[in-house]
């Protein structure tokens, strides 16, 4: 889902990150506000004023999305659900749960918190709009109107009962509570989400063909995203059930190729990367795990420095992003890889290297298990149960 991300700030203990795709959204929103909406709402102002109104409106959009996702995160934390952070990307934002809710009530309360928070913001911005309405041509009045309307749209759109939108999560919670079957509820809500995404795609194509190019493009892209996210959500559920109770120690390679911190970069390339064909290597000195070195760090160095610099100069130290323990839940390790974009994790046990966990090994296990769980034709099997 995400490309490259960087941290903006921490809020109530949650790390708020910005995906690079959000910058494209910011440029498009600023341009459309400055050239279209604000000149219509507040005529008679100069172009520079409209530009800064567009910038403030875009910052207000960022604030509104963070406020919406923060409400999800706070409710999740209230019920003991770990949140990996909040990420803003081109289609909005997401509070990254590392574990699904344990019951329908928690799911519903966490989902409904988002639209409620957006409606609260809409009311506050509406009050600001009314307060500044004595002179409708003021920049503040136009921005307040836009942000109030924006938050109403965010609330209403997210209430659509199409997973993974908040309304779809609320529907899943209701179905879950009714039937007591989490997997069936997820599949049903995800199918609605996929259908809604298809509807947006068709509306986008229609709008594009009738001359509304920008509107059609956005509907089409949002539809594609919703269809993909709905399908991915159900696949993640199946993966979670498949890996339930499995520990990292079962999948790790206990005898990985390691490198010392005093190895020159040129030797690392010649004797390790070109020989073993891995992109990442654990750095171990005297049986102590120091971190890891990858081809990404090597590529940052000029080739003439490869003979002078050592692994110690470029390696990444051990952190929560690149290490797990042998007894860690394999599904949580999978989520960690998805969150950080890493394909290999160091398995650390009391400061020593216990092994390497690779995404390829996890995928191979799931492929084999899916294959073995399939029953002969005409016979009911585990994979077909809802």
Question: Could you tell me which residues are annotated as the binding site for Zn(2+)?
Answer: 68, 72, 166
Assess whether the previous peptide bond of 164 is cis (omega < 30° from 0): yes
DSSP 160: S
* Cβ within 8 Å of residue 75, ≥6 positions away: 109, 110, 113
C-alpha span between 338 and 231 (Å, rounded): 16
Closest CA to 311 of 261, 259, 258: 261
Burial code (b: 16+ CB inside 10 Å, e: under 16) for 320-330 equals: eebbbebebbb
C-alpha span between 134 and 132 (Å, rounded): 6
To the query of whether residue 69 is one of the catalytic residues in this protein, the response is: yes
The two beta strands, 288-294 and 316-317, are antiparallel
Query: Which tokens go with 237?
Result: 């559920």
C-alpha span between 181 and 39 (Å, rounded): 52
| Annotated active-site residue in 15, 69, 102, 287 | 69
Q: Which residues are annotated as a binding site?
A: 68, 72, 166
C-alpha span between 211 and 302 (Å, rounded): 50
Name the CA dihedral angle for 31, 34, 40, 41, rounded to a multiple of 10 degrees.
120
Strands (E), 172-303: 280-285, 288-294
C-alpha span between 137 and 188 (Å, rounded): 48
Query: Which residues does residue 352 pair with via DSSP β-bridges, in sequence order?
Result: 349
* Residues annotated as catalytic (active site), given as ranges: 69
């Amino acid at each position: 889902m995400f490309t490259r991300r960087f941290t903006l700030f921490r809020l109530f203990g949650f790390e708020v990150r910005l995906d690079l795709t959000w910058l494209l959204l910011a440029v498009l929103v600023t341009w459309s506000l400055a050239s279209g909406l604000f000149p219509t709402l507040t005529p008679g102002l100069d172009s520079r004023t409209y530009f800064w109104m567009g910038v403030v409106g875009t910052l207000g959009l960022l604030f509104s999305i963070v406020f919406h996702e923060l409400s999800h995160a706070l409710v999740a934390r209230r019920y003991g659900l770990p949140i990996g952070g909040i990420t803003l990307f081109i289609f909005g934002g997401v509070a990254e749960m590392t574990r699904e809710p344990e019951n329908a009530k928690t799911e519903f309360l966490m989902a409904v918190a988002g639209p409620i928070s957006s409606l609260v913001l809409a009311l506050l911005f509406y009050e600001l709009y009314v307060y500044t309405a004595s002179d409708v041509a003021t920049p503040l009045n136009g921005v307040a109107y836009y942000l109030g309307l924006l938050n109403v749209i965010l609330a209403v759109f997210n209430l659509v009962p199409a997973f993974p939108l908040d309304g779809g999560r609320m529907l899943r919670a209701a179905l879950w509570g009714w039937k007591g079957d989490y997997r069936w509820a997820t599949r049903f809500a995800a199918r609605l989400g996929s259908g809604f995404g298809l509807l947006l795609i068709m509306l986008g194509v229609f709008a594009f063909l009738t001359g509304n190019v920008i509107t059609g493009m956005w509907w089409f892209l949002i539809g594609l995203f919703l269809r993909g996210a709905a399908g991915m959500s159900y696949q993640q559920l199946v993966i979670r059930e498949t890996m339930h109770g499995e520990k990292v120690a079962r999948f790790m390679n206990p005898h990985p190729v390691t490198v010392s911190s005093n190895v020159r970069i040129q030797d690392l390339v010649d004797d390790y990367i070109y020989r073993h064909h891995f992109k990442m290597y654990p750095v171990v000195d005297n049986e102590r795990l120091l971190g890891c070195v990858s081809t990404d760090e090597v590529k940052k160095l000029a080739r003439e420095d490869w003979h002078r610099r050592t692994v110690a100069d470029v390696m990444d130290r051990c952190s929560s992003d690149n290490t797990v323990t042998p007894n860690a839940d394999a599904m949580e390790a999978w989520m960690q890889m998805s969150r950080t974009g890493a394909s290999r994790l160091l398995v650390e046990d009391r400061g020593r290297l216990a092994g390497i966990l690779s995404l390829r090994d996890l995928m191979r296990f799931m492929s084999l298990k899916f294959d073995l769980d399939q029953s002969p034709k005409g016979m009911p099997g585990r994979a077909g149960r809802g």
